[in-house]
A and B are shown apart, each in its own frame.
Chain A
Amino acid sequence: MFTYLVRRLIYVLPVAVGVSIICFLLVHIAPGDPLTAIMPVDATAEEQAAMRSAYGLDKPLPVQYAIWIGKAAMGDLGKSIATGRPVADEVFTAVRNSLLLAFSASVIAFPIGLFLGFLAGYFRDTIFDRLVTAIAITGVSVPNYWLGIVLVIIFSVQLGWLPSMGAGPGGSGEWTWDYAHVRHLILPAVTLAVVPIGIVARTVRALVGDIFSMDFVQALYAKGLRHGDVLRHVVRNAAPTALSVMGLQLGYLLGGSILIETVFNWPGSGFLLSNAIFQRDLPLLQGTILILSLFFVGMNLIVDVAQAAIDPRIKRS
């Protein structure tokens, strides 16, 4: 187990470095001078040169990268051009809100996805199986930003049951677990849950169906095990893959919630990102994407290690 962990860590380092290089280069593939966003249009050449050296933009790219990543490692992601506040602070608050949304969506999606997928795999080729397959394919095909709008139309505009945007009453307050705040969480969390429900149900259905057709299931029945005990073996066999799919989905939820957060004005990382895009706030853009993608890399690592911990077959290979 320990050697496996070390191997995975050694493998994840170059990926993390690569990810940071891409985030760094984002600013430099942007057409035009990164300075144009900061400088007034009538700035003189001397002022521009002064600004250039103040931001370190006169140094060669590798040096700029080294400075940037060195500071980032110390928790300094620069200052937002639009607000002047440290990017790290902005990203931290936003990621916390996004995590809240992503976890809530997972709490809705994973039990439903597992339940539907398991039943469909168990009752393979029945009406129920076909129904679940239809639900799953609808779930993965629906553009969730549109679904969010439709849910707002139904539950906010038509019925007036739930608020259509924001993370709480009265704009940007601290999150608390009370009715007024949770009301705001329901629609975005449900919207975000639809795609992972489809994916988890689809994967688990295929998984459980495959496991039931394996020889060892026959052998267990032949050995005289009761149905419930055989089921236990099937679940144990399906668990590692199902867990890894869910872990990855959680990572996707965090990185992929940008569209949903825009629809619901949810003050998370995606909302921050779309503001950064709109204002061409490149340090903020760079920092947010770096944190989100590193979180995703970390999530992958955790999933792999957890999978190895519960599935002895992986360590051996």
Chain B
Amino acid sequence: MSAATDTIAPDVPVTAAAGYWTGVLKRFSRDPVAITCALIVLLLILSAIFAPYLGLDDPYKSSMIKRLKPIGYPGFPLGTDEQGRDMLSRLIYGGRLTLFVGLVPVVLAFFIGSAFGLVAGYAGGRINALIMRTVDVFFAFPSVLLAIAISSALGAGIVNSLVSLTIVFIPPIARVAESATASVRALDYIDAARASGGGALTIIRVHIIGNVLGPIFVYATSLTSVCMILAAGLSFLGIGVRPPEPEWGLMLNTLRTAIYVNPWVAALPGLMIFITSLCLNLLSDGLRSAMNVKD
């Protein structure tokens, strides 16, 4: 678009046309909401990674006499939980597992689902039918139900949560990848590439991936917030991360009994999930418009 206007308008000095990613970065940097959300997510990730170096209290150290202290209690800026552990420390440490289990499945599903979708969309015919009908079956479950079903069958644990959430997000990504690939596959230049002797792998690698990965990526980012909520939800139900690990969903669950004593401390872990998921959603929307991807 911008390259075309450059050549038409004579008063604009002729320069090399800006690349696609330069444009994306430019549009993204003009979006204050997306930038703010990106910074918040970055801050959450960094504080989770560097939690041991922040001079926080031990998130596992409990104290029978300091249980359920309110926000602002001396020495505990965000109060203490039902075992007298420092809430600030547990919330920051809690980001480690919550973000890990909330984000990694989407990344894994992005690679696996894209691979399935690319193969199905490119091959067509029986291979397409085999892959896509299998996807349909998994799609027939509401995502919450499927995640809970697989996790409860496998049992609690971080790895099992990762597995079940990855399985939940492969089908939607495969669907988007398949339809994107099938529409690119139908274009003339692919026929031209085939006519000039390109093999399937070469065509996918050189001519297709670059054209479909953007939309798939943007779609995958829109799933991160759902994945976060689901991952924390599994722990909330007791089929995700096991105690005494700090994890927001699990903390929300164990603090439920405290809502009559110290309600606002009990609500804090959920607030963290909410803020993160809100930022991930807004960030994804920002990426979508910066990358010019249409639904």
- Interface residues, chain A, CB within 8 Å of chain B? 14-16, 18-19, 21-23, 26-27, 29-31, 137-138, 140-143, 145-147, 149-150, 152-153, 157-158, 206, 251-252, 254-256, 258-259, 262-263, 273-274, 276-278, 285, 289, 292-293, 296-297, 300
Q: How many A-B residue pairs have CB under 8 A?
A: 137
Residue interface bits B204-234, CB-to-A below 8 A is 1, else 0: 0000000000000000000001000100110
Q: Assess whether B153 is interfacial by the CB under 8 Å rule.
A: yes
Contact of B236 (CB < 8 Å), options: A30, A259, A296: A259
Contact of A157 (CB < 8 Å), options: B236, B260, B273: B260
CA distance A313 to B15 in the complex (A): 48
B125 to chain A, nearest CB (A): 17
CA distance A300 to B142 in the complex (A): 11
> Chain B residues with Cβ under 8 A from A15's Cβ?
133, 136-137, 140
CB within 8 Å of A: which B144-176 residues: 144-145, 148-150, 152-155
Residue interface bits B274-295, CB-to-A below 8 A is 1, else 0: 1001101110010000000001
* Contact A153-B259, Cβ < 8 Å, known A146-B270, A259-B144: yes
Inter-subunit contact A145/B259 (CB<8 Å): no
Inter-subunit contact A143/B142 (CB<8 Å): no
* Contact A149-B267, Cβ < 8 Å, known A29-B153, A141-B225, A255-B142: yes
Pairs A–B under 8 Å by Cβ, sample size 23: A19-B141, A23-B149, A26-B149, A137-B278, A137-B285, A143-B232, A143-B233, A143-B270, A143-B274, A145-B233, A145-B236, A146-B270, A146-B274, A149-B259, A149-B266, A157-B260, A252-B142, A255-B144, A256-B144, A273-B152, A277-B148, A292-B145, A296-B141
> Chain B residues with Cβ under 8 A from A30's Cβ?
153-155
Which of A15, A29, A140, A277 neighbours the largest number of chain B CB atoms within 10 Å of its CB? A277
Inter-subunit contact A258/B266 (CB<8 Å): no
Inter-subunit contact B144/A289 (CB<8 Å): no
CA distance A40 to B228 in the complex (A): 39
User: Which residue of B is nearest A254, CB measured?
Assistant: B142
> Chain B residues with Cβ under 8 A from A147's Cβ?
270
B63 to chain A, nearest CB (A): 24
> Chain A residues with Cβ under 8 A from B277's Cβ?
141-143
Contact of A274 (CB < 8 Å), options: B138, B142, B237, B282: B237
Inter-subunit contact B237/A259 (CB<8 Å): yes
> Chain A residues with Cβ under 8 A from B153's Cβ?
26-27, 29-30, 285
The 6 nearest A-B residue pairs measured at CB:
A146-B270, A18-B137, A255-B142, A141-B278, A277-B152, A256-B144
CA distance A29 to B155 in the complex (A): 10
User: Which residue of B is nearest A25, CB measured?
Assistant: B153
Contact of B144 (CB < 8 Å), options: A19, A137, A138, A258: A258
Inter-subunit contact B145/A145 (CB<8 Å): no
Inter-subunit contact A22/B137 (CB<8 Å): yes
Inter-subunit contact B271/A146 (CB<8 Å): yes
> Chain A residues with Cβ under 8 A from B285's Cβ?
137
Inter-subunit contact A153/B267 (CB<8 Å): yes
* Contact A31-B154, Cβ < 8 Å, known A149-B267, A293-B145: yes
Q: Assess whether B120 is interfacial by the CB under 8 Å rule.
A: no
Which of A145, A150, A153 neighbours the largest number of chain B CB atoms within 10 Å of its CB? A145
Give me 11 other A-B pairs in contact (C-beta within 8 A), A30-B153, A146-B269, A292-B145 excluded: A18-B136, A18-B137, A19-B141, A22-B137, A141-B278, A143-B270, A153-B264, A258-B144, A285-B153, A293-B142, A296-B145
CA distance A6 to B68 in the complex (A): 61
> Chain B residues with Cβ under 8 A from A158's Cβ?
263
Inter-subunit contact A19/B145 (CB<8 Å): no
CA distance A242 to B278 in the complex (A): 24
CA distance A5 to B47 in the complex (A): 55
User: Which residue of B is nearest A292, CB measured?
Assistant: B145
CA distance A143 to B232 in the complex (A): 9
* Contact A277-B142, Cβ < 8 Å, known A30-B155, A141-B277, A258-B148: no
A214 to chain B, nearest CB (A): 15
> Chain A residues with Cβ under 8 A from B150's Cβ?
26, 29
User: Which residue of B is nearest A20, CB measured?
Assistant: B137
> Chain A residues with Cβ under 8 A from B124's Cβ?
none
Which of A14, A31, A256, A259 neighbours the largest number of chain B CB atoms within 10 Å of its CB? A259
Inter-subunit contact B263/A153 (CB<8 Å): yes
